Amino acid sequence: MSTTRSHQTIEMDIDNFGRYRAMNGSNASYAPRDVTREFGEDYGSRIFAGNVIQRRLAPNVLDKLERTIHFGTKLDPEIADEVAAAMKDWAIENGCTHYCHWFQPLTGATAEKHDSFLSFDGRGGVIAEFTGESLVRGEPDASSFPTGNIRDTFEARGYTAWDPTSPAFITINGGEATLCIPTVFVSWTGESLDQKTPLLRSIEALNTHAMRILKSFGSADGIHRVTSTLGCEQEYFLVDEDAWSERPDLMLCGRTLLGADSPKGHQLDDHYFGSIPHRVLSFMGDVEERLYLLGIPAKTRHNEVAPAQFELAPLFESTNLACDHQMLTMSVLKNVAREHGMVCLIHEKPFAGVNGSGKHNNWSLSTDSGKNLLSPKSNLQFLSFVTAVVRAIDLHADMLRATVANAANDLRLGANEAPPAIISIFAGHLLQFMIDELIAGKTIQKAEGSFMELGSESLPKVERHAGDRNRTSPFAFTGNKFEFRAVGSQASVAWPNTVLNTIIAESLDHIATRIEEAVEDGMDDAARNAAIMTILQDVMKTHSRVVFNGDNYSDEWKQEAERRGLPNLRSTPDALPAMETDKAKALFDAYNVLSDSELEARVEVLYESYVTVCEIEARTQMMMLNTMVLPAVARYQSEVGESVAASNAAGVESAAMKSRLEELVGLTASLYGSIQELDAFLSAEFDCVKQRAVDIRDTLLPAMERARTSCDALEGLVPADLWPLPSYTELLFGGLA
Ligand code: ADP
Ligand code: MG
């Protein structure tokens, strides 16, 4: 960076502004969006579902496909050719030349390998072809995806298999339209190498045991399936692309590894729910348009707590679909941001000392007839489901914690902005009342919903929710769903929901079994209810210790949680062992979600990812310190040194410059010491990834923190025009408005 940084910044802003305007057409960004279609028209026009398939498939084929989609019946292989042909015609009409099997390997990202429809026609020409076999099965090379040692590198064969329950869709990126077919990804031996396979298995387990509960209450008539529903609130940051491209840490790691605080952050609370900057709103509009065409129901948008932080929330959907839609939403956010000259940072903690980003995972249970089974009712059926959730979270808090453990989320959990690592349930007023009544053995009554007085006759009466909010709780009952708030913003939600579904399936199984044993044919209602009450009371008494309605950020809660025996697993190396216990293995095995070797592989990948991410960050930090920060500091030191020498030569004592020089020399020495520590750590050989993870947490991360402290102090001293990196002020406040 030259010494004219401030000039460059001005040019950069002008340039950027011009580019932004140019991109949206002259002044177009300030004009209302041209939406002439009817509300709802074109919704989902880029997915192979709804009207699209009704118009294109023969009635008997459509019927079979829809039975698979809605009731989970096994797909009839006979229909694959016909579905493939219709899909191909539709894709080609929409500009596609290629299709891909779209899957979610254990990298946490999505993967796609494109194939064109091109085929020889046998007469020297070509035709477009897409067979049922190509739709149903793909064969990407699996050797370069993480397998957690489930396979050797030379055993490369992997298969993708069509998931008909999530509709194929067309993406348009860089002007290229591609037909994407959601698939699972398994090894040649049939072991899962992806996020979707265990999720689908967990949904099956949940369905089986939730249906048993419904049957035992005589309410299964006309209901084919119970599935979990999911709505994820996505938080993210936006930064100007030019500023981003000057920060190797943002480019390589998605977060800043250096950077002094900006004098202004969110102290004034003036950003949260504030009016959305016009550049951002224009971006959000484009994002929503893409999602709308993909049939992804984006509903809510707003400014979040931190400067430059925003949120998007969709309407909820069944979990498998919602998970796919969540992955697509993240990719749309990233792609559209670049088109607007910005970069969307989905990292959990892009800026130290500034609120991080999460992804509230709103989870509930629904019948295929659309009935929410967690909608409060003063009956035993509702209580059975709630009791199952309480039991599951208490028994498996450690595993739920492990599902959100990674290097990035470690920077956020427990930092008084996100829930702590202790997993507990916030029940709220209504549910707590019901739990208390149940434990006391009283007949359950619903606490009356009450109305709020707003103090003016002219205002409508607002019905109060069943409970207040508790932002600090990791797992909160919010009216008719549970909100798991510890999930990180860039996480694939498939894994946390796989575990959530599985642990709740187990508790539903437990309760259903006990009810089935206790209830005898010919029992009258009173005796039957009394028997069920006794079971629920017993389970609730054992597990209600996990319910906590107070401030989860307080130190008292940490002590109280310890007294209650709740685990507090602070870091990833603390949390991951919960997935290696006999308890975890038995659970996944019993519900056919993951075999022992599949589970082991997953845990291995999580450890490897933790180690790799942290090492990349440390190397990036070292590179920036060596090649950007130290040279800038040296330049300033020599300037100050010259100034001191000049004063001395003139016979005047410059105490200020002398002490500045000493300060610089002192901080530089500390910084250099930390760099050497990083270097030594990274050069050392290791052979056990688990031990390496622990060493990283205990040795590398503290050294990076010390390096950062020295560097950030230097940033406060070195002239802005010499400092080689855009500052927090520039990143968080420059360019978005
Ligand atoms: P809040 O702001 O109180 O958290 P919202 O109603 O805004 O509540 O919902 C937040 C998210 O929860 C949305 O994505 C929404 O779709 C989702 N959600 C609402 N009801 C359910 C449900 N029954 N199952 C799953 N997710 C739900
Ligand atoms: Mg919420």
Helix (H) or strand (E) holding 360: strand 359-367
At 671, the pLDDT band (50, 70, 90 cuts) reads very high
Please state the atom number of ligand 1 nearest to the C-alpha of residue 366: 23
pLDDT of 535 over the 60 cut: yes
Residue type for position 139: E
E strand or H helix at 402: helix 380-403
Q: Are 514 and 505 in contact (CB under 8 A)?
A: no
Q: What is the SS3 string spanning 594-644? A: CCHHHHHHHHHHHHHHHHHHHHHHHHHHHHHHHHHHHHHHHHHHHHHHHHH
In order of start, what are the domains of the chain with their CATH numbers? 43-194 (3.10.20.70), 196-233+358-452+460-593 (no CATH), 609-733 (1.20.120.1560)
Cα of 357 from ligand 2 centre, angstroms: 13
**What is the phi/psi pair of residue 107, to 5°?**
-70, -15
Which runs of consecutive H residues, i.e. helices, occur in 233-375?
241-245, 248-253, 278-293, 319-339
Each as own residue / partner, the long-range contacts of residues 680-687 (CB below 8 Å, 24 or more positions apart, any chain) are: 681/618, 682/615, 682/618, 682/619, 682/622
| Alpha-carbon Rg for the chain in angstroms | 28
Nearest CA among 16, 491, 22 for reference residue 246: 16
pLDDT for position 734: 83
Alpha-carbon distance of 42 to 608, in angstroms, equals: 43
- Among positive and negative, which fits the CA dihedral 170, 172, 175, 176? negative
Which has the closest alpha carbon to 292: 31, 39, 33, 545? Answer: 39
E strand spans, 456-543: 462-463, 475-477, 482-484
Type of residue numbered 417:
E
136 neighbors 176 (Cβ within 8 angstroms): no
What region, left, alpha or beta, does residue 162 occupy, with left being phi > 0 and alpha being psi -120 to 50 degrees? beta
Q: Please report, as a single letter, which amino acid is at residue 320.
A: N
229 CB near ligand 1 (under 6 Å) = yes
Given its phi and psi angles, is residue 212 left (phi above 0), alpha (psi -120 to 50 degrees) or beta? alpha
- Give the pLDDT score at 6: 39
Q: Which two tokens stand for residue 231?
A: 């709505």
Atom nearest to 362 CA in ligand 1:
26
Could you tell me which residue, 169 or 18, shows the higher pLDDT?
Answer: 169
Average pLDDT over residues 721-729: 96
Does the beta carbon of 247 lie inside 6 Å of ligand 1? no
Percentage of the chain modeled with pLDDT above 90: 77
Q: Please tell me the predicted confidence (pLDDT) of residue 4.
A: 36
State the pLDDT at residue 34. 64
**pLDDT value for 467:** 63
pLDDT, averaged across the chain: 90
The stretch 301-317 carries a mean pLDDT of 95
For residue 27, the model assigns a pLDDT of 34
Which of 66-70, 356-360, 652-656 has the weakest average pLDDT?
66-70
Task: Give me the mean pLDDT over the 231-260 stretch.
Answer: 97
Contact (Cβ atoms closer than 8 angstroms) between residue 469 and residue 431:
no
Mean pLDDT of 656-685: 97
Lowest mean pLDDT among 63-67, 318-322, 461-465, 498-502: 461-465
Atom of ligand 1 nearest to the CA of 478: 3
Closest ligand to C-alpha of residue 318 is: 1
CB-ligand 1 contact for 362 (6 Å cutoff)? yes
pLDDT higher at 595 or 142: 595
Q: How far apart are CA 340 and CA 298, in angstroms?
A: 19
Q: How many CB atoms lie within 10 A of CB 735?
A: 24
Q: Where is 63: in which H helix or E strand?
A: helix 59-71
Residue 669 contacts by C-beta under 8 Å, 6 or more apart in sequence?
none
Instruction: Count Cα atoms within 13 angstroms, Cβ side, for 545.
Output: 15
pLDDT tens per residue, range 404-429: 999 999 999 977 777 889 999 999 98
The pLDDT tens digits for 578-626 are: 999 999 999 999 999 999 999 999 999 999 999 999 999 999 999 999 9
pLDDT at 85: 96
Report the pLDDT value the prediction gives residue 418, as an integer from 0 to 100: 79
The finding on whether 234 has its CB within 6 A of some atom of ligand 1 is no
pLDDT for position 16: 37
Quick one: pLDDT at residue 521?
Answer: 87
78 with 197: CB under 8 angstroms? Answer: no
322 lines ligand 1 (CB under 6 A): no
Q: What is the percent of the chain where pLDDT is above 70?
A: 91
